[in-house]
Amino acid sequence: MPSDTADPAPSAAELVRQLSQETSTLVRQELRLAQLELQEKGRRAGIGAGLVGGASGVALFALGALVAAAILGLATVVEPWLAALAVAGALLLAAAGLALAGRRQVARAVPPAPERAVQSARTDVHTLKEAAQR
């Protein structure tokens, strides 16, 4: 037979226990989210680095052929040593530009913090604070 008496409201101790359990669960979930986010970033960085390395190897062979062609072409107008010096100077300027662009890109990637997980944790803390004030 169903009872007409409703369950009494949970005690303060029971509420504290539930809060502790739910907080613990929330922290574990946030840490797991951060871990998954960092794993994904690491995987993407590894794949990208491998592709850049492969492209660099192929480009190195092409660059050697282009440098030889540039020196030989310029040597028809000026002395061969001057042609080699001019091509080397142009290559050094290009290398400096690429190094600066690469440095800017690396600076944007550091630190590799799990931004979404941090924002989610901040939202959770804010929600808990609001709930505690009620």
pLDDT by residue (tens digit) across 10-52? Answer: 888 888 889 889 999 999 999 999 999 999 989 999 999 999 9
For the chain, the average pLDDT equals 88
pLDDT tens digits, residue range 77-125? 999 999 999 999 999 999 999 999 999 998 887 777 777 888 888 898 8
pLDDT of residue 111: 73
| Centroid of chain to Cα 134 | 39
Amino acid at 42: G
Closest CA to 113 of 28, 42, 44, 27: 42
Number of neighbours of residue 77 by Cβ within 10 angstroms: 8
Q: What is the pLDDT of residue 84?
A: 96
Listing DSSP states for 39-71 in one string gives HHHHHHHHHHHHHHHHHHHHHHHHHHHHHHHHH
User: pTM of whole model > 0.75?
Assistant: no
> Which residue type is seen at 122?
R
